[in-house]
Amino acid sequence: MTIAAVIDTISTDTTVSSPISHDTIARTAWATIAEPGDSHVCALIARYGADAALTALLSLNGDTAASQDGTLAQLRASVLPRYSVDRVVDTIRLTVAGGYELLTPSHPNWPASVADLGETGPFALWVRGDALLLSAPSVALTGTQFATPYGKHVCVDLASGLIERGWAIASGAARGIDAAVLSTGRAFAGRNVVVLPMGMDDTFPAENAELVDGVATRGVVVSEIPPGCTPSAWRFQRGNRLLAALTTKTVIVEAEYESGHLHTAETAMKLGRPCGAVPGRTSTASNAGCDRLIRHYGAQLVATIDDADRL
């Protein structure tokens, strides 16, 4: 049950041709057994490093500082049962087979902006496309899956205008506003950044798979969830924080009062990033969340492309 066992297994695997560092293997393991942004795991990794922290987790009788850390007792109960050598090796094989680039903090293409998440940052990032785009100036445009015709119209106007002004446009891959962003990026040859709340080998909803594949050829698709992992509601919500951290500023185009996209806006504001919201034509349920962000959370009103550009 050690990292050495993973190395021994993949060293005889002809599909894995390049050597993989202990840190990368350890971060891959953490990503397979812990939930995204687990603050206890992130704190442990920050104190001892991913390799030493995982070794301590797997060693019931250790004499290192990491082994004596009080956090380990809790983690052994919650995440240790999920660990297996086969699971980590399968993740590495899926990464190689899919042609995904695996980024860790020591990789030159690792986006420095995610450091602002502190102890809720990603353990590793899986990437399709141009990883350098993760560090480019970008605007997150996102919102409800149940977009109105008005919301889609505003989204197309904002996305196309910002693309013409040189911004990369970031979003999720959901229905509604996200799909409008992706379609606009394709139509205007924009540089899109897509943050997936699932593994790179999965796309939900399925009807957006072609749009996501298109982004991988002209932009970048990124996920902190290893390939082969099952999507969950928690991971969808945690993906919102990664979207906010990767981008220069955030605009919520349309959202209900209790929409999960408000978490994206809240994270952006907590990180000190500019955040805007598009007001509805009237106070309707479809955009009550944007009105809430403007009235009560201090989001800036975005009514035009200039508003979004100047955020």
CB atoms within 10 A of CB 214: 17
Characterize the bridge pairing of strands 220-223 and 249-254. unpaired
Characterize the bridge pairing of strands 125-129 and 220-223. antiparallel
Summarize pLDDT for 55-104 with one digit per residue, the tens. Answer: 888 876 666 666 677 778 788 888 888 888 888 889 998 999 999 999 99
Instruction: Give me the torsion for CA of 253, 259, 263, 269, rounded to 10°.
Output: 40
Please report the pLDDT score of residue 285 as a whole number.
Answer: 78
What CATH class is the domain 129-310?
alpha beta
pTM for this predicted structure: 0.92
Q: What is the distance, to the nearest Å, from the Cα of residue 159 to the centroid of all Cα atoms in its chain?
A: 20
Task: Locate the DSSP E strands across 136-230.
Answer: 138-143, 168-171, 192-196, 220-223
Please report the pLDDT score of residue 126 as a whole number.
Answer: 97
- pLDDT of the chain, 311 residues: tens digit per residue: 566 777 667 666 656 656 788 899 899 999 999 888 888 899 889 888 998 888 888 876 666 666 677 778 788 888 888 888 888 889 998 999 999 999 999 999 999 999 999 989 999 999 999 999 999 999 999 999 999 999 999 999 999 999 999 999 999 999 999 999 999 999 999 999 999 988 998 877 889 999 999 999 999 999 999 998 876 665 666 778 999 999 999 999 999 988 888 899 999 999 999 999 999 876 677 789 999 999 999 999 999 999 999 99
**Single-letter code of the amino acid located at 77:** A
Q: What is the maximum span of the chain, computed from C-alpha positions, in angstroms?
A: 64
- Going from N- to C-terminal start, the domains of the chain cover 3-98, 129-310
According to DSSP, the residues that pair with 277 across neighbouring strands are 252, 301
Determine the Cα–Cα distance for residues 209 and 188; give it in Å rounded to an integer: 19
According to DSSP, the residues that pair with 103 across neighbouring strands are 125
Determine the Cα–Cα distance for residues 25 and 11; give it in Å rounded to an integer: 13
Determine the Cα–Cα distance for residues 279 and 128; give it in Å rounded to an integer: 34
Determine the Cα–Cα distance for residues 223 and 124; give it in Å rounded to an integer: 9
